[in-house]
Amino acid sequence: MEAQKPNSAKGSATLKPGNNVRGVKNAFLVIIACFVVAVCLFLFVFGHPSHFDAEGYDGASMWFAGEEFAKAHPIDLIGTVFKGGIIVPILQTLFLTVIVLSVERAIALKSAKGTGSIAKFVTEVKKCLAKNDIAAAQELCKKQKGSVAAVVSAALNRYDEMDRNTVLSKEQKIATLQKEVEEATAIEMPSLQQNLPIVATLTTLGTLVGLLGTVLGMIKSFQALSASGAPDSTELSTGISEALVNTAFGIATGAFAVISYNFYTNKIDNLTYAIDEIGFSIVQSFAATH
C-alpha cells in the first residue's frame, strides 16, 4: 500500500480531460430561480403603486382583484409593462435565463481557456515538440490549465508511452496517439457546449411566447371594439399595451439569445481549432522522430 502512494500523488497532479470547465450542471434550477425572481419583479417592482393612479393597490392586490387591475392606469413605462399581463413574467423568466446562462458560459469558457493566451501556449508547445522535450511541454500544460492543456497533456502522456513501447509498430503507435487526441477532445466537448442548447432553444421560444402575448393582447383589444355602444377605452388600451409589451420582450429575448449563442459557439470553435492544431502537431512530431 505504501509503494502506491507516489503514483497516486503523481496522477492527481496530471490534467485530466473533462474536469477543467466550471459551470452550472443543472440548468433547470436556473430556470426555476429566474421564474421566482421574474414573478417577484412583476408583482412588487413593476406593480408598485407608484407606477399607477390607483392608490393603495400594489401589483399583487391588483393582479388578484380583476376590477382594480382594469381600473388602474399606468403613469410610466414600468406600469405599462405590468399591464402587459400574465405572459410578461414568463417572458421575463426566459430573458433572465438567457442572461444567467450567458454569464455562466462566459465563466465556464474562461476556465476552459486556461490562464494564458491559447495562441502563445500552442506556439510554446510546438517549440518543445520540435526539441522533443516532452517534460517541458507537460510543465506548460500544468501552468496553462484548462481544456486545451488537458487534451495536450493526455496526448503527451500517450506520446511518452508510445515512445517507450517496443511491441507496437510505428503505424500502430501513430494510430494510438491519434485516438488519444480524439478521445480527449470528445470528453471535453460536452462540458464546453453545456447549456448552449438551452440558449439556442430560447432564441425561438422567446419569440413564440412574445407572439402569444401579442395575440392575447389583440384579442382583448378587438373584444373592446366589438362591445355594444362606445368602445371601452380602458380595455382597448390594456389590450394594446399587452400586445406591444409582449412583442418587445419576445424580440429582446430572441435577439439576445441569438447573439449569445453565436458568440459562445464561435469561442468554442476557436478552442476546438487550437486543440486540433496542437493534436496534429503532436502526431506529426512523433511520426517525424520515430
Q: What percent of the chain has pLDDT over 90?
A: 31
Q: Is the pTM of this model over 0.85?
A: no
Q: Are residues 79 and 223 in the same domain?
A: no
pLDDT at site 62: 57
Q: Tens of pLDDT along 72-83?
A: 677 888 888 888
Q: Tens of pLDDT along 7-41?
A: 333 443 556 766 667 777 888 999 999 999 999 99
pLDDT band at 228 (very low <50, low <70, confident <90, very high): low
Name the more confident of 270 and 61. Answer: 270
The whole-chain average pLDDT of the chain stands at 83
Q: Are residues 145 and 74 in the same domain?
A: no
pLDDT band at 201 (very low <50, low <70, confident <90, very high): very high
pLDDT at site 58: 57
Q: Are residues 254 and 137 in the same domain?
A: yes
pLDDT at site 249: 92
**Structural domain includes residue 7:** no
pLDDT band at 268 (very low <50, low <70, confident <90, very high): very high
**Structural domain includes residue 10:** no
Q: What is the 3-state secondary structure (H, E, C) of the chain?
A: CHHHHHHHHHHHCCCCCCCCCCCCCCHHHHHHHHHHHHHHHHHHCCCCHHHECCCCCCHHHHHHCHHHHHHCCECCHHHHHHCCCCHHHHHHHHHHHHHHHHHHHHHHHHHHHCCCCHHHHHHHHHHHHHCCCHHHHHHHHHHHCHHHHHHHHHHHHHHHHHHHCCCCCHHHHHHHHHHHHHHHHHHHHHHHHCCHHHHHHHHHHHHHHHHHHHHHHHHHHHHHHHCCCCCCHHHHHHHHHHHHHHHHHHHHHHHHHHHHHHHHHHHHHHHHHHHHHHHHHHHHHHHHHC
Domain termination residue (choose one: 83, 112, 133): 83
Domain termination residue (choose one: 51, 83, 115): 83
Q: Are residues 44 and 151 in the same domain?
A: no
Q: What percent of the chain has pLDDT over 70?
A: 83
**Structural domain includes residue 98:** no
**Structural domain includes residue 92:** no
Q: Are residues 276 and 181 in the same domain?
A: yes
**Structural domain includes residue 114:** yes
Q: Are residues 71 and 151 in the same domain?
A: no
Q: Are residues 129 and 220 in the same domain?
A: yes
Q: Are residues 148 and 204 in the same domain?
A: yes
pLDDT at site 2: 40
Domain termination residue (choose one: 52, 83, 114): 83
Q: Are residues 59 and 128 in the same domain?
A: no
Q: Which has the minimum average pLDDT: 127-131, 207-211, 239-243? A: 239-243
**Structural domain includes residue 88:** no
Q: Tens of pLDDT along 102-117?
A: 999 999 998 888 888 8
Q: Are residues 34 and 132 in the same domain?
A: no
Q: Which has the minimum average pLDDT: 50-64, 144-158, 177-191, 247-261? A: 50-64
**What mean pLDDT comes out for the span 275-283?**
87
Q: Are residues 225 and 109 in the same domain?
A: yes
**Structural domain includes residue 71:** yes
Count of domains forming the chain? 2
Q: Which residue range is the domain that position 227 belongs to?
A: 103-289
pLDDT band at 222 (very low <50, low <70, confident <90, very high): confident
Q: Are residues 143 and 228 in the same domain?
A: yes
Which one, of 95, 71, 75, 61, lies nearest residue 246 by Cα? 95
Q: Is the pLDDT of residue 1 over 70?
A: no
pLDDT at site 55: 57
pLDDT at site 53: 76
**Structural domain includes residue 18:** no
